Structure 1
Amino acid sequence: MMQRVVKTIAGLFLLLFIAAQAGAANLEDKVVEHTFKNGLKLLMVERHSSPTVSAWIRFKVGSVHERSDERGIAHLLEHMLFKGTRTLGTRDYAAEAPLLEKIEETAQRMLAEEAKGSGADKATLASLRAELARLEKQAEQYVIKDEFFDLYARNGGSGYNAFTSRDGTTYLISLPANKLELWAAIESDRMKNPVLREFYTERSVVMEERRRSYDAEPSSKLWETFVAAAYQTHPYGQPTIGWSSDIRQLSRTKAESFLKRYYAPNNAIVAVVGDIRPADTIALVERYFGDIPPGTPVPEVAAQEEQQQGERRVEVLGDAEPELIIGFHKTALGAPDDEVFDLVASVLGQGRTSRLYRSLVLEKQLATQVSVFDAPGNRYPNLFVLYASPRAPHTAAEVEQALLAELERLKKEPVSQQELQQVLNQLEFEEARRMGTNGGLARNLTEYEAIAGSWRYLTTYRAKLTKITPADIQRVARQYFTRENRIVGTLVTKKPGGAQK
């Protein structure tokens, strides 16, 4: 019975391996791309297995592109762009618009007074805050809550969502194929006529999100502190949500300026995957998006992180169990050696058969969980990160030594061809699983077009992996996994009476 199960699993891996190879080879023929006069890039794949489509819009602007007085604005705009347009989300925009202007005028005066710090007039500030709250309450009469969500839901849409990262902002939806024109009408209207209504109300929501999910969450606080310590120059060190002081000084005027500059067709990539005809889809997108003017091209980030000259260590106290993060500076996605790091990450931390899981979790029982990943972005040089949760009574220091010992092993002992092939199979399995869904393929197309410069990165990735040798892994481990290139973050449990462990 066990032999039959093993053969079945091996057969499944083989089928997925073949499917992934064929998928990568055929993707070049299956993807239809079209660039409109305003710069909008459209990527399409026909899949007629079900009468559905997934549509993803990726804006090539994220928190890494914010100026120092704009931090947190990309994330806040992600929230705001669900609020509607001049025709959606409002009962009467003609009556609402003057009230929105009054709100902004009051908010600007309030922000100017707050900027005085201890010199602010408390009575004036209290009066302005009360007036802002009154005007926002008055504006509620015109707001239709969640009209985007309701329109999509009534027409069979699912998975309507958005996310912001350091590198970009994405809006996504899956819906019946015969509702694709509804998507085009809604999303083009959002790009043409967005209205940032309820701005200061939503800013308070984000402030609460910041407080609840970051400031009051020891694990999140450790992560933010760790990343900030890793980057002294590059904006990757700034949190996407922004620091509390950043969010407090954001205004609708700043947000609208950022929006008009960058959330435009020439900075957008659209992927439509599913039951479509590319010629019809091109015509549809041209009809709805073709007249939107381009904005300012998103600039490259000029700041470059200086080479680290010594180990950096940070510590966060919190009412939580100990945690450990170790990171090393590395290359960006698509740069030399990046694929080597992908194989190293799989060897060390991919699944229950990985080295770290077998050694630290199963055999030595030093940790309850371990993981390996890249962060905090991919467009620019990032970090190779190892995370572990020590298992009591073992300490973070013990786990750290065990992790470093595994990295040293990579430097001294070549990875066997058998282990390398197993890792390649696992990567193929995961890639085949992701590419098998319309949404997964749409995500990959927009992600790699934005980050790597072309979705064709997907078609060459497998070939690059197969050329990596055990000697390459040893070379990369010796070059990057050094003390002077290392950042270590530790979450220390705060005990009653001030003691820690």
Structure 2
Amino acid sequence: MNFLKKISIVTSIAAASFVGYAYGQDFQWKEATSNGYTYKYVTNDPTAARYYKLKNGLTVILSPTNKDPRIQTYIATKAGSKTDPSDHTGLAHYLEHMLFKGTDKFGSKDWAKEKPILDQIDALYEKYNTTKDESKRKEIYKEIDKVSGEAAKFAIANEYDKMMAGMGADGTNAFTSFEQTVYTEDIPANVVDKFLTVQSERFRQPVLRLFHTELEAVYEEKNRSLDDDGDKVYDMMFASLFPNNNYGKQTTIGTIEHLKNPSLKAIRQYFDTYYVPNNMGIIMSGDFNPDEVIAKIDKAFSYMKPKSIPEYKIGQEKPISSPIVKEVVGPNPENVMLGFRFPGATTKDARLLNLVGNMLTNGQAGLIDLDLVKKQKLLAAYAYPYVLKDYSVLLLQGRPTNGQSLDEVKTLLLQEIDKLRKGEFSDDLIESIVNNEKKSIIQKDEKYSSRAGILMDEFTSDIDHKVSLEYVDEISKLTKKDIMDFAAKYLQANNYVAIYKRKGEDKSIVKVDKPTITPVSVNREDQSPFLKKIDEMPENAIAPVWLNFDKDITKNKLGDVDVLSVKNTDNALFRLYYHFDSGKWNNKILPLAAEYLQYLGTKNKSSEAISKEFYRLASSFNVSAGNEETYVTLEGLNENFDKTASLFEELIKNCQADQNALNAYKARLKKARADVKQSKGAIMSGLRSYAQYGPQNPFNNVLTDAELEALKAEDLINVLHDLFNYKHKVLYYGPKSGNEIVTSLKPIHTLPKSLKELTKTKTFVQVPTDKNKVLFAHYDMVQSEIFWVRNADQYNVSIAPTVSLFNNYFGGGMGSIVFQTIRESKALAYSTYSYFALPSKKEDKDMVLAYVGTQADKFNESTTAMNELLTTLPKSEQLFETAKSGLRKSIASERITQDGIIFSYLRAQKLGNNADIRRNVYDQSPKLAFTDINNFHDKEMKGKNYTYCIVASQEKVNEADMKKLGEVKKLNLTEIFGY
């Protein structure tokens, strides 16, 4: 349950344009009737989406596809943070959290006894909300805490999550953004009846139980956002672009003032106002018969009554006549973000904005790609549209390289905008974008989950599906003058907002203080009659499908190279991989050579010309060097396979050393290496690697500053030229057969008479976790991040069923023991989990991992709570049976397809397995009892040593408290990063 992170941009127009498209087709809205229900549809729509409007106004969008026996579902409300009351910002978001708490029928063991106590809590919160005297407020909150504890005795925590887990659902979650609150589930196709029964009850009359512990989780979420410089930049950008519109006037998660003064009355009023059928939609894509499903939805949700929705008045913005420049301060590396304002999602100009975004950044041949990234003028740079209902935004972001000021970054970004106005871009750029849009359409249409997400975004933004399908036709008709006119209208020299993210201490941060919360009961063993009813509902079993590596993969030879292929019978896309069982452990400069390649050309073609050619072909390449594996990936349209493969072979075998490119690359790499030391996520990754392998570990196995400085262009070029002379495999998924792919590659992928072995120069072995230790790294932040790491025994395939079931029960989801205890009962963290990890190759050891992200002042309580769970496994037969049932149903409905079959085979080989391990888990898990996972817990976790990896502010976490956990070692950044 979260608010939609602004950094995870999902542009409605962009997404909608990818649904599925047959170029040149005629798209028209039509009406049809089937099984007594009338629906609308668009002719030639490859998603076959049906649009129903039920009698009560509920919108239902159904897109059937039977590729997988699963269904992606979204229940969406057209209400988000922009419709929050101005005196209760964040309300839509924490209402979203409360929609997981149940009703009078589920989530309660005795509603008659629970309700009077909840009424007391309601009254106390209203009193708390209107009281200004801090001492009196504390006394009221003590009473809230006390009465909440009494109410919790009748609550069944996470009963919703248990029901969904028992069905085999994945991705149980929800999100809130500016204008939508969406509840999401990915369910097996045979539990539609159960799903609809639960959902119709869920939205009937939600009960705001366990509110004070859930609100504390929202407090944690707010504090996490205060530690995120990216969030702060976005908030400042939208506040500056939209001083009159709610996009800028209030944030999704809300202000601290409002979070500290919640009103349950206001929450109910909001639900009653916006959670009405004429403001909601049910969107489903997957394996179902739409005639049957629409009747079931109608029956389940017919109780809902329509209401008039309050008119939402768009805050109108005045044109920006001169640059607005603001600053944000924080510990992360410096950058600049520019924002330009555009019309809203339903307009033609919003659709053109999506095209302009691609013209600036498309990963290969956009203006920013070629001018700033390819030429290494900035450390990083990109542009993207953010399409919303009231207004849209074009955002550009750039990070400086060594010696650059933020003003210089801004100037470089604005120069690319100026090129759009002047028409200084390739004549064929629009045509290339159209070709790549066609490919992206096919890619997006491959998965039922993508279809559902696109249709949901269209619904919440009021985008016409027919118009979305016509997008490629629309942009294919545009001329260079059209783009120039568009840029001149919206992308002027002075109508932007610039946010300078500077490095420093943000003294304005005020965290949400931790209230005193007494842990509440979660009543794991209790079940409501409603849950029992759901469990007893019939369902037709889905037969699992296992991989047969001998039959599902075609095996050929190209000289001495193994060619593994799976035929694509769905569309005209291909993915080709050259796979090497070697990586950075063999050669530390291999990852540098892989990245350097993107800046190189050949004798006959410049680097820019090669990028443009790949983009014209609607193809791409990527070279990725990991610790022990390297992949060269080519993907694109089958009709351009030979040209794509030949173009890459020409590049990698004939690339020429470019000293200027190397000098720029070194300068950027030095800056990037310095910047990554300012990332708390990277620091934690380094601590975890240190915990696994010791002081010399894969994370810090990098070139020293001196080695980097001494690096020559020839060193990197030689690695690239020699790459295909080493042993590798060819992996292929596409329309060609195994024989056809060998025939196509034979004249292109020419090989030496014998391939060389690439011996490992470095091997890392996991160190024993022989005592309790603490690895600490300082970072200036409100939160503290804590990871538990323990290296266990050597890989043993026979424990896989026990491990899978244990993880489902113990720490693998919102209904798990860890989540229930640490978040639901004790309100100690927003994010927490634990699991037993099997290795990726048989030579490695298993691992125990656990995590808590919490406020620094909850450090002791959080570590104690997790250690208690690692010592004693709480028993719940009901939760155990749910975990067992959900595991089998999830496996039964899972389909590994496409190139996933090949990668499953390679993973199995590394572990010494000859068959699909899921079959063993499916067959053996029903035979396991609670005593089996309890014994497993005792053997692998209880009384064991752990390395505690802690990233926190040294001013906020007491060293004496850390010493209670184990021997403390404070690591400096050089020890962590290796330079």
- Matches of 2:346 and 2:382, distance apart in 1: 22
- Matches of 2:351 and 2:281, distance apart in 1: 24
- Matches of 1:34 and 1:18, distance apart in 2: 19
Which deviates the most, 453-462 or 228-237?
453-462
1:372 aligns with 2:388: no
- Are 2:71 and 2:188, in contact at CA under 8 Å, matched by a contact in 1? yes
- The equivalent residue for 1:218 is 229
**TM-superposed deviation, 1:470:** 1.3
- Matches of 2:427 and 2:194, distance apart in 1: 51
Which deviates the most, 26-35 or 303-312?
26-35
- The equivalent residue for 2:457 is 447
| Mapping 1:332-347, distance limit 5 Å | 332-347=344-359
- The equivalent residue for 1:3 is none
Q: Which has the higher contact order (CA 8 A, sep 6+)?
A: 1
- Are 2:204 and 2:304, in contact at CA under 8 Å, matched by a contact in 1? yes
- Matches of 1:128 and 1:187, distance apart in 2: 35
Per-residue CA deviation, residues 220-254 of structure 1 (Å, 9 max, x unaligned), is 21221121111111111021111211222221110
- The equivalent residue for 2:305 is 293
Secondary structure in 1 matching 2:203: helix
- Are 1:56 and 1:272, in contact at CA under 8 Å, matched by a contact in 2? yes
- Are 1:340 and 1:468, in contact at CA under 8 Å, matched by a contact in 2? no
- The equivalent residue for 2:484 is 474
Segments of structure 2 that go 5 or more residues without pairing to the other structure are: 1-17, 28-42, 507-979
**Root-mean-square deviation (CA), in Å?**
2.3
- Matches of 1:107 and 1:19, distance apart in 2: 50
- The equivalent residue for 1:397 is 407
- Matches of 2:426 and 2:170, distance apart in 1: 45
- The equivalent residue for 1:326 is 338
| Mapping 1:42-53, distance limit 5 Å | 42-53=60-71
Secondary structure in 2 matching 1:206: helix
1:127 aligns with 2:165: no
- The equivalent residue for 2:73 is 55
Secondary structure in 2 matching 1:442: helix
For 1:356, which of 368, 381, 400 is the aligned residue?
Answer: 368
- The equivalent residue for 2:220 is 208
**TM-superposed deviation, 1:372:** 1.7
**Displaced runs of 4 or more, over 4 A:** 22-25
- Matches of 1:414 and 1:352, distance apart in 2: 17
- Are 1:55 and 1:270, in contact at CA under 8 Å, matched by a contact in 2? yes
- The equivalent residue for 1:272 is 284
- The equivalent residue for 1:152 is 164
2:242 partner amino acid:
Y
1:172 partner amino acid:
T
TM-score normalised over the length of structure 1: 0.89
2:122 partner amino acid:
E
Per-residue CA deviation, residues 290-316 of structure 1 (Å, 9 max, x unaligned), is 121123325333321122232111011
- Matches of 1:19 and 1:331, distance apart in 2: 25
- The equivalent residue for 1:67 is 85
TM-score normalised over the length of structure 2: 0.46
1:165 aligns with 2:166: no
Which deviates the most, 422-431 or 403-412?
422-431
- Are 1:191 and 1:264, in contact at CA under 8 Å, matched by a contact in 2? no
Secondary structure in 2 matching 1:21: coil
**TM-superposed deviation, 1:401:** 0.9
- The equivalent residue for 1:96 is 114
Per-residue CA deviation, residues 186-220 of structure 1 (Å, 9 max, x unaligned), is 1111111211112232222212211222x222222
- Are 1:267 and 1:298, in contact at CA under 8 Å, matched by a contact in 2? no
- Matches of 1:110 and 1:334, distance apart in 2: 43
- Are 1:322 and 1:390, in contact at CA under 8 Å, matched by a contact in 2? yes
**Paired residues, what number?**
472
**TM-superposed deviation, 1:29:** 8.3
- Matches of 2:295 and 2:198, distance apart in 1: 16
1:270 partner amino acid:
I
1:83 aligns with 2:118: no
Report the CA distance shift for 1:365/1:28 in structure 2 as closer, same or farther (over 3 A).
Answer: closer
- Are 2:381 and 2:396, in contact at CA under 8 Å, matched by a contact in 1? yes
1:27 aligns with 2:48: no
- Are 1:332 and 1:380, in contact at CA under 8 Å, matched by a contact in 2? yes
- Matches of 1:478 and 1:168, distance apart in 2: 32
1:361 partner amino acid:
V
- Are 2:339 and 2:498, in contact at CA under 8 Å, matched by a contact in 1? yes
- Are 2:78 and 2:181, in contact at CA under 8 Å, matched by a contact in 1? yes
**TM-superposed deviation, 1:28:** 7.5
- The equivalent residue for 2:707 is none
Which deviates the most, 292-301 or 257-266?
292-301
Secondary structure in 2 matching 1:53: strand
Among the aligned pairs, what percent are the same residue? Answer: 25
1:420 aligns with 2:421: no
- Matches of 1:121 and 1:207, distance apart in 2: 19
1:321 partner amino acid:
P
2:268 partner amino acid:
E
- Matches of 1:50 and 1:125, distance apart in 2: 54
Higher CA-based Rg:
2
- The equivalent residue for 1:408 is 418
- Are 1:347 and 1:355, in contact at CA under 8 Å, matched by a contact in 2? yes
1:265 partner amino acid:
P
Report the CA distance shift for 1:425/1:407 in structure 2 as closer, same or farther (over 3 A).
Answer: same
**TM-superposed deviation, 1:345:** 0.5
| Mapping 1:179-258, distance limit 5 Å | 179-213=191-225, 215-237=226-248, 238-258=250-270
Q: Higher helix fraction: Structure 1 or Structure 2?
A: 1
**TM-superposed deviation, 1:460:** 2.2
Report the CA distance shift for 1:495/1:72 in structure 2 as closer, same or farther (over 3 A).
Answer: closer
Secondary structure in 1 matching 2:178: coil
1:396 partner amino acid:
L
Report the CA distance shift for 1:69/1:175 in structure 2 as closer, same or farther (over 3 A).
Answer: same
Per-residue CA deviation, residues 54-93 of structure 1 (Å, 9 max, x unaligned), is 2211111111112211311111111111111222222222
- The equivalent residue for 1:14 is none
Per-residue CA deviation, residues 277-300 of structure 1 (Å, 9 max, x unaligned), is 222112101111012112332533
For 1:309, which of 303, 307, 321 is the aligned residue?
Answer: 321
